A and B are shown apart, each in its own frame.
Chain A
Amino acid sequence: MSEIFAYILHKNGKADDTAMELVAAAKKVDPAVPVTALVLGSAADADAVAGQAANHYKKVWKVADAALSHPNAELIRPVLQKILPPGAILLMPTDSFGMDLGPGLAVKMGGAYLADVVNLHGVNAGKLVADRQEYSGQVYVKVEADVSAGAVITCRPGAFAAEEAGGAGGAVEDKTAAALPLPAVKRTFVKVVAAEVGDVDITKSEVLLSVGRGIESEDNLPVAFDLAKAMGADVSCSRPIVDAKWMEKSRQVGTSGQTVKPKVYMAMGISGAFQHLGGLKGNPFILAVNKNPKAPIFQVADVGVVGNILEFMPALQEKIEEGK
């Protein structure tokens, strides 16, 4: 194994929080191996973000070009192939960009691909042991990857405690010349269409009644809205409800939806996949009702009830109205 690299995501000239999580993840691969942060972007972004990364990484490589102002995995993959040394281990966050870049890069570099790891147990004789989740987080699996020819590893955001200390005083090396000329690519970025704004802004709600697959049918939605009215709560939902077109995307909590920070979060029939929990911030009081006692939501909830939400919600509404 030669070196470990950490891909730094950034937006509007600011490094993503995962930049500090990858410091911790790299130590769990091998604390003895030096780690280099990779910052690719437009000249202004690359400068700003490389400066921030140097606070957490001893070495930073930057590649600056106007064509890199929006991260296009089809362009960045051949660039990384060109500049990374053989056998490199690349860490990056699990997100829409990591999913775009990672699998193909691992193949092109002849290394292993480890997707969405939640823990790492170090390298021994060229083999890296990692923990992943399967079946929507219901079970974990320990895997062993042959990283002797390198690897691309996507790390679950939030799974590795961010090392915020900083003070690394890293040196920034400009690798732009090594990356040029940028290759022609068959996929071009056009634009980003911003998420639609709905009638309720759940990001401002203090109490959210959130419904998931357990609602079973669109016809049952009034059960949730009636309870929410009795509570003075707003109604949000998880991804399957939006996929089924039963509620607007603007009410979806999760990494691909809204990030909410209520005081109280009622997870009704929501399994608690990490993509959903990723949209829940500010340490709310979480009450979960789910018919599956093994649902991952019960690992993060404060209070749980194993049961059918279609019985629980009307009963709770009745009890609240009795007390008024």
Chain B
Amino acid sequence: MEILVCVKRVPDTAENEIAVNASGSDIVRDDVVYSVNEWDNYAVEEAIQIRDRVGGSVTVVTVGDADSEEILRREMAMGADNGMLLSDPAFAGSDGQGIASIIKGVVDQGKYDLVLTGALADDGAGQVGGMLAALLDWPYASVVNKIETGDGKLTVGREVEGGNQEINEIALPCVLSIQTGINEPRYVGIRGIRKVASVEIPCKGKDACGMPAATFGAASAKVKKLNYFVPELGAGAEMLGGSLDEQVEKVVELLKAKGGLR
């Protein structure tokens, strides 16, 4: 099976406190630690496991700047066969559909049976996979937490409300968005990274991606970001100061009062 996995380099919310910059135009990017989007990492692991079971290859692709190459290399160190960077100043300002359009160009040029994305990324929209499927006219399933391969089709589990799992059969080729927890992504050591350090990663720009320029970039975007902010949300929590000993003493008092100690 030929599998394409769409990945994204994002500020790691587990490692960073995200703050809004002075003008509100963006988050503060100084000293931010970046990593591969967590959901995408599960998608790459799943693709590698499918390839190892049924054969084929795994290609990781990202739309981003030159810095994004590092995450492609990381996912190749995990076991992806190929990487592809889609980078061009003309891609800047694309909305979800613009990104989906750029990736569609790559899918059209390849012979993929399956395209995976993460179910969500840093912007919390979860949109590129579903849009790509619509542009390709391929079937789509979101928040997938189980994949079994079959003849010309897959059996997939979707994570639905209440911890239930919705089982579907879906014809290939298709697009799936992958939920965290579907597998246990393998650890990538420094040696693995070194092995792929000198591998050539092809880069495609606006012409090579093969899609009309009107389908991506700021001019095509139906959704534009105006400004970032952090709202005043009332008082919030009463924050306990003082030493750790003073804090836990106060917490014991509160727990007693609220019925939290039994």
* Interfacial residues, chain A to chain B (CB-CB below 8 A): 72-74, 95-97, 99-108, 111-116, 129, 131-146, 185-196, 206-207, 213, 231-233, 239-240, 242-245, 249-250, 252, 255-259, 263-264, 266, 271, 285-288, 292-294, 298-307, 311-312, 315-316, 318-320, 323
Contact = CB atoms under 8 A, between A and B. Distances in A.
B229 A142 contact: yes
Interface in B82-135: 96-97, 100, 119, 122-131, 133-135
Contact of A188 (B13, B126, B169): B169
Contact of B139 (A139, A143, A185, A303): A185
A136 B133 CA distance: 25
B124 A143 contact: no
A320 B130 contact: no
B225 interface: yes
A41 to B, nearest CB: 16
B255 A231 contact: yes
B143 A99 contact: yes
Interface string B214-249: 000000001111111111010011111000110111
Given A112-B222, A138-B13, A231 B254 contact: no
Q: Which 6 A-B pairs have the closest CB atoms?
A: A103-B130, A232-B262, A195-B163, A304-B237, A264-B260, A104-B134
Nearest to A258: B163
Contact of A129 (B19, B159, B161, B226): B226
A303 B247 CA distance: 11
Contact of A298 (B126, B139, B168, B239): B239
A145 B95 CA distance: 10
B133 A293 contact: no
B66 interface: no
Contacts of A134: 18, 27, 122-124, 228
B223 A144 contact: yes
Contacts of A319: 245, 248-249, 251-252
Contact of B124 (A133, A188, A286, A305): A133
6 contacts: A99-B126, A140-B231, A142-B227, A188-B170, A240-B180, A303-B240
A258 B31 CA distance: 37
A134 to B, nearest CB: 5
B161 A256 contact: yes
Contacts of A255: 161
B190 interface: no
A205 to B, nearest CB: 11
B99 to A, nearest CB: 11
Interface string B36-53: 000000000000000000
Contacts of A115: 96, 124-127
B262 A315 contact: no
Q: State the majority secondary structure of interface residues on A.
A: mixed
Contacts, number: 282
Contacts of B14: 213
B74 interface: no
A104 B133 contact: yes
Given A144-B223, A188-B169, A243 B260 contact: no
Contacts of A213: 14
Contacts of A232: 261-262
Contacts of B255: 231, 264, 287, 320
B165 interface: yes
Nearest to B181: A243
Most buried by B among A107, A145, A258: A107
A112 to B, nearest CB: 4
Q: Most chain-B Cβ atoms within 10 A of its Cβ — which of A104, A213, A233?
A: A104
B130 A104 contact: yes
A104 B230 contact: no
Residue among A97, A111, A137 facing the most chain B CB atoms (10 A cut-off): A97
A107 B134 contact: yes
B252 to A, nearest CB: 5
A173 to B, nearest CB: 28
Given A188-B169, A231-B261, A294-B18, 7 more contacts: A135-B124, A187-B140, A231-B255, A240-B180, A243-B180, A299-B237, A315-B247
Contacts of A187: 139-141, 168-171, 174
Contacts of B140: 73-74, 100, 104, 187
B167 A320 contact: no
Contacts of B177: 99
A96 B167 CA distance: 13
Q: Which among B167, B233, B247 has the highest number of chain A CB atoms within 10 Å?
A: B247
A252 B260 CA distance: 20
A249 B13 CA distance: 23
Contacts of A311: 244
A305 B163 contact: no
